[in-house]
Amino acid sequence: MSSNKTPAPLSDDILALRLGLTTREFQRYRGQGLIVVTVTEEDENTAKVTCQLGNRIWEGFVANGEIIVEGVRFTRGMRSKTIVS
């Protein structure tokens, strides 16, 4: 089950730190829709948390409230295309 509405098994403090932000910045950007947090349950004790801010994506597997594996990646930007109708 994947949902943006599922509460992350990690606090805003931890997610902010992983993205290099203060908690206040993280909450402000999330409120503006600039940060997207997705939680996918892998099994009953493990969840995959994905937190994206622009081209920066933090992914972590959380088991029983602890991060067991994590990583940050950066996506390449796409050039904007002009649509002519």
pLDDT tens-digit series, residues 29-73:
999 999 999 999 988 889 999 999 999 999 999 998 899 999 999
Q: Which helix (H) or strand (E) holds 7?
A: none
Residue 2 near residue 39, CB atoms below 8 Å: yes
- Tell me which of 37 and 7 has the higher pLDDT: 37
Indicate whether 82 pLDDT > 60: no
Q: If 0-12 CB within 10 Å is exposed, 13-18 middle and 19+ buried, where does residue 5 land?
A: exposed
Tens-digit pLDDT profile for residues 14-23:
999 999 999 9
> What pTM did the predictor assign?
0.76
pLDDT for position 4 = 45
